[in-house]
Amino acid sequence: MEEKPSNASRRSLVHHDSNKSLLQGDIRNLWTTATLSELNVNLPLSHVSECSDLEGRRSSYLKGSVDTDNVDWEWDGGLRESLPGDDSSQQELDERTLMELELHRSHSLGSVPEGGDDDDSRIKAERSSSSLNVFKQTPHRAYWAEQQNRLPLPLVGLMENEVLEILTKTLESYRSGIGRNHFLTKQLRRSIEGLKKRRNKMLQVSVN
Amino acid sequence: MKLKQGSFLWYLYLDKIYCLLSVRNVRALMEYFHLLDVHHKNTLNDVVFFHFLNHVTNLTRPQIMMIFDMLDWNAMGEIGFDQFYMLVCILLSHQNHLEQQFIYRHSRPVFELLDLDGDLRIDLENFQLYSFLFNIKKQELNEIYQNFDFTGDHRLNYKEFKLFTIFNVDKYQKRQKAEKEKEEKFLLKSKVSQQSDVFTKKEHCLEKKI
């Protein structure tokens, strides 16, 4: 038989965890995490539970969760507390923060069965697996592209538009100078088409 | 010569002291260069180069082709990223009115660019051709050759050119200082006049009351 932790101790655990995570991490990380996790909001509920529970462990984790209103209150309180003394030294995404947000999101989805019992270690394991799933399941394409290129997306957009204009004028010069069928003209045309496709893809991603 | 407002180059920041771009800016510029490099040779040919400069500046066709010839010193018909970077720095220094500072900081590369014949000397004619890049007027150029051509061959060698850059930057700094002082004096005057206005108004009010 597993021992049921009292509601108060659970609350204090959540409070402690959220405070710790919020104090450790930069507030901007929270924003980023929230954006990442919010992508799943529109997914059907069945899919979400599939995503977050590959081994059928999600329900047990949720069973062990505490009263939703309390958690929300605790989380918001922690956030408010962290704002003035924001420690921006930690740049990495805080996994614990992610867990809290994931928990918060799952509550807001309304997929929380009440009651049940679980020990703390199991809760932690489930939370970490669910946070990893956030990374796996919700790749925000524009966000990751920006991270990989290390150039701000508006700047890339500006650059590509400008280059496209320049290359279009160049293509006209090529056509009048060396002819339509010259391999340089063809190569330039292909480059312009590639650039246009890339730009359209970027636009689609930003719209979605 | 002016940069087109809102163009990509317009957003780059040139360091005012060293007249160089930051690493982040250079990386962005490199990305831009690679987008322009449609033939994947890490170079830009004269046609692409012309349309690029025509798009981002108000330079005329002969001026653009002259710049291309200057940068393409080995007559390959193409320019690489190094030359492109140099050109962008020149454009930005012109845009930010840092031409004198730029020539002083990068005297060797500028000298090599202006030495079109490769005989380690700069002709007055060649210098005059590219004076628009560094915002040097004809009168100033004649004075430079009068004051710094110590050998008397109507050409500047590197030492003479370097002396000119030092003298030029010194003049520029003095001018800046004078402008600052003038601004400060103007501010002080305006403050004093405002205060005296307030004082006279108060006096006027008092007189009325009496």
SS (H, E, C) B158-177: HHHHHHHHHHHHHHHHHHHH
CB of A191 less than 8 A from some CB of B:
yes
For an interface test with B, which of A155, A156, A160, A162 has the most B Cβ atoms less than 10 Å from its Cβ?
A162
How many CB pairs below 8 Å do chains A and B form together?
A: 54
The alpha-carbon gap from A177 to the nearest alpha carbon of chain B, in Å, equals 10
Closest partner residue to B35 (CB to CB) among A163, A170, A173 is: A163
Rg (CA), chain B: 23
pLDDT tens, A17-27? Answer: 444 444 444 54
Of the options 3.40.1280.10, 1.10.238.10, 3.40.190.10, 1.20.140.10, the CATH number for the domain spanning B1-96: 1.10.238.10
> Which chain A residues touch B7 with a CB distance below 8 Å?
162
Query: In the prediction, which pLDDT does A40 show?
Result: 46
| Contact of A122 with A60, CB cutoff 8 Å | yes
Query: In the prediction, which pLDDT does A168 show?
Result: 94
Phi first, then psi: what are they for B116, rounded to 5°? -70, -30
Query: In the prediction, which pLDDT does A111 show?
Result: 42
pLDDT tens, B89-127? Answer: 999 999 998 888 999 999 999 999 999 888 899 988 888
pLDDT tens, A5-14? Answer: 444 444 444 4
In the predicted model, is pLDDT for residue A129 greater than 80? Answer: no
The interface predicted TM-score (ipTM) is 0.80
Distance between CA atoms of B169 and B93, rounded to whole angstroms? 14
Exposed e or buried b for every residue in A65-103, given b needs 16+ CB within 10 A? bbbbeebeebbeebbeebeeeeeeeeeebbbbbbbbbbb
In the predicted model, is pLDDT for residue B73 greater than 50? Answer: yes
| Contact of B28 with A156, CB cutoff 8 Å | no
CB contact under 8 A, B48 and A167: yes
In the predicted model, is pLDDT for residue A68 greater than 70? Answer: no
CB of B55 less than 8 A from some CB of A:
yes
Find where tokens 């962005």 sit. Answer: B28
| Contact of B148 with B111, CB cutoff 8 Å | no
CB of B23 less than 8 A from some CB of A:
no
The alpha-carbon gap from B31 to the nearest alpha carbon of chain A, in Å, equals 9
Please give the distance of CA B167 from its chain centroid, rounded to a whole number: 16
Q: Using a cut of 0.80, tell me whether the model's pTM lies above it.
A: no
